[in-house]
Structure 1
Amino acid sequence: MPKLRSRSRSRSSTLASGAGYWWYLVPGFVLVMAIIVVPLGQNIYYSFTFYRGIRPPEWVGLQNWQHLMHDDKFWQSFENSIAMIIAMVVVPTLVGLLIASVLFDLVGKKFGGKVASFLRATYYIPQIIPVVVAAIVVGWIARPQDGALNEMLGAVGLDGAQRNWLGDPTWALPTIMAVLIWVQLGYPVVVFMAALQRVDPELYEAAELDGANWWNRFRAITLAVIRPEIFVVTLTCTIAALKVFAPVYALTRGGPGTSTIVPSYYSYSEFFQSQQVGYGATISTALTVVIILVATVFLIAQRRVERQEEQR
């Protein structure tokens, strides 16, 4: 009996002490409510209203959503988002995976870890440059009259001198895609090189003894071990691509025409330029729904892959 009483007292004291720690979560909970939950709720409410930011919102039901379904400019912005996904997810992930493997498996072994770390840092430098600063530099490089890009093309005799890279509807979107590839490449390189630290060197040594070349080791060992990091990089970069705003705002403002417009900038222009707050909220709400669906699909796919590996 004394032992049971002492156990019950220790459990009650533990629960009482644990309950006190919940108060430390209150500031974070208040910030989440104030910064995320409440604005999201207001945004969803405004998507069902006609609101120009001055007079009280007027409830219009599904009128904004019906207009959204037939808005060619909105669908054009999502088509451009596919190009952003290619520039920020597909190319950086594939190239970053290849670069990280080469730096870790070849450069690191031949020249040492310091050389590999230095090269990794150089790839990551564009990530720490402010987007606006990078956009200004790119604007100077792509200037049609005296930009560095046109000067270099003219110097080597290639066609393209005096080309308006950001003002031509044909070249504006590919130019932004090239900039985003340059900016985004360092992120997967750093993540994948950190993930490669988990690979057992004995696996590579055993594969080399069996006669496996670099590509076979990369396909059979590297990809299998760092698959969780590949999912993380792909998911985070996809969300970033769907939300991309600053490069488009700084370089082209969605132009020329609608050639580089994306959903986030379209929502911004409806909010603050056209003063159609209700319709801008509809665009941003639709973008939020798409991001949630994409994240859900990625998580389900990751769980299925993990289950298949466990069954093996």
Structure 2
Amino acid sequence: MATSLAIDEPVRRKPQYRSLIPGSSSKGFWVYLVPGLTLITLIILIPLVWNIYLTFTQYRGIKPPEWIGLDNWEKLLGDSTFWASFGNSIAMVVAMVVVPTLLGLVLAAMLFDLIGKKFGGKLASFLRATYYLPQILPAVIAAIVIGWILRPQNGALNQVLEAIGLGSLQHNWLGSPDTALPSIMIIMIWVQLGYPIVIFMAALQRVDPELYEAAELDGANWFQRFRAITVSIIRPEIFVVTLTCTIAALKVFGPIYTLTGGGPGTSTIVPAYYAYSEFFQSQQVGYGATIATALTIVVAAVAVVFVIAQTRLERKEEER
């Protein structure tokens, strides 16, 4: 009896899989990681460790580094220029994160939900490409164009103001401490706006159109549909855009270097440019490394905070 039951019972065996590569095992795949790990070590890890070491030294790039302990860090904490640069970084966060993300979210929703439906997808795609155009311009070319527009003597902006009878508003936009930083902020909004629009419009492609149609039949206006459907569904993309734009704002360098050089005074200086000036202009390599390391710590902390916040929000949504 027992024998017949054993025969009738189906034999359960673990499925056998054959490797795609004869004679290989799972351990062999580590070989394919060696080139990437080597490049990461040479390009990122070794320079990072060397940079951290230089923060504890006095080094001018010629003689060997001289160990001075925490002197550079003490100097950094009391450096008014350093704190001014971080204050300007907050302005860059507003110009490159807050305004482009909010404005880009609204514009993407309008292009997708209003213009795309009424005028067709081709017009919406054309406007999306138009908004994204500043992103693909080289920073130097964009700076040359903006510098020509804001030139104090014969710049396009001052010429237009004079032509329409507002010559009294002519100004040295990038040469005055009062207007240099706001001018840079406006430029960065123009440059950064296309990125969130493209990301958000791509995210909206996975939104079921029937949700908008049902909400519209229920009497919801465009803003109510935007708040209840658009924002809630593409929230992961909003986190991604906010994080990447925040990191870019903290590391911004090119526009400051090409347009103002951190001036006039320290009105537009940012940590990345301040570290560069200490490295290559003042030849204070140890102190420049300290500024760069402090900036790295801030960027890493911001990234961790964003990831934790997104994880907690996703858990709350799953619990619902």
Please state which band the TM-score falls in when normalised by the shorter chain.
over 0.9
Kept in 1, the 8 Å contact 2:158–2:167? The answer is no
Q: Which has the higher helix share?
A: 1
Q: Select which of 201, 206, 211 maps to 1:198.
A: 206
1:226-241 pair list within 5 angstroms? 226-241=234-249
Give the root-mean-square deviation of aligned CA atoms. Answer: 2.0
After TM superposition, list the pairs within 5 Å mapping 1:284-303 onto structure 2.
284-303=292-311
Which residue does 2:313 correspond to in 1? 305
Within the candidate set 143, 154, 171, 1:146 is matched to 154
CA apart distance, 1:115: 1.0
Q: Structure 1: which 5+ residue stretches go unaligned?
A: none
In the other structure, the counterpart of 2:175 is: 167
Give the Cα separation in 2 of the matches to 1:299 and 1:160: 49
**CA–CA distance in 1 between the matches of 2:197 and 2:17?**
53
Distance (whole Å) between structure 2 residues aligned to residue 14 and residue 93 of structure 1: 51
Q: How does 1:152-301 map to 2 (within 5 A)?
A: 152-301=160-309
Give the distance between the partners of 2:167 and 2:212, measured in 1 at CA.
47
Which residue number corresponds to residue 98 of structure 1? 106
More off after superposition, 154-163 vs 49-58: 154-163
Asked if 2 retains the 8 angstrom alpha-carbon contact of 1:270 and 1:280, the reply is: yes
1:1-23 superposed Cα distances (whole Å, 9 cap, x missing partner): xx999978958x99933333321
1:124 aligns with 2:132: yes
Q: 1:109 to 1:5 in 2, by over 3 A?
A: closer
Structure 2 residue identity aligned to 1:223: V
SS in 2 for 1:29: helix
Opposite residue 67 of structure 1, the aligned amino acid is K
Separation of aligned partners in 2, 1:129 and 1:157: 33
Question: Separation in 1 of the partners of 2:319 and 2:163?
Answer: 60
Contact 1:145 1:162 in 2 (8 A): no
2:41 maps to 1:41:
no
Instruction: Give 1:58's aligned amino acid.
Output: E
1:82 corresponds to which of 90, 114, 121: 90
Q: TM-score, normalised by structure 1?
A: 0.95
Cα pair distance change 1:96/1:9, threshold 3 Å: closer
TM-score, length of structure 2 as denominator length: 0.93
| 1:107 and 2:128 correspond | no
Q: Aligned letter for 1:266?
A: Y
What stretches of structure 2 of length at least 5 have no aligned partner? Answer: 1-10
The structure having more radius of gyration, on CA atoms, is 2
In the TM superposition, what whole-angstrom CA distance separates every residue of 1:195-214 from its partner, at most 9, and x where no partner exists?
Answer: 00011111111111111110
Letter in 1 for 2:290: T
User: 8 Å contact 1:150–1:160 — kept in the other structure?
Assistant: no
Contact conserved, 1:108 with 1:116, CA < 8 A, in 2?
yes
Pair 1:46–1:15, CA change in 2 (3 A): farther
Count of aligned pairs: 310
Contact 2:253 2:272 (C-alpha < 8 Å) held by counterparts: yes
**Secondary structure, in 3 states, of the residue corresponding to 1:169?**
coil
Q: How much has 1:48 moved relative to structure 2?
A: 0.6
Q: Is the 8 A contact 1:151 1:161 kept in 2?
A: no
Counterpart of 1:205, as a letter, is E
C-alpha separation in 1, matches of 2:204 and 2:179? 37
Deviations 1:30-81 (A, max 9, x none): 1111111110100000001111101110111110000000000000000000
Deviation, structure 1 residue 161 = 4.8
State the identity as a percent: 70
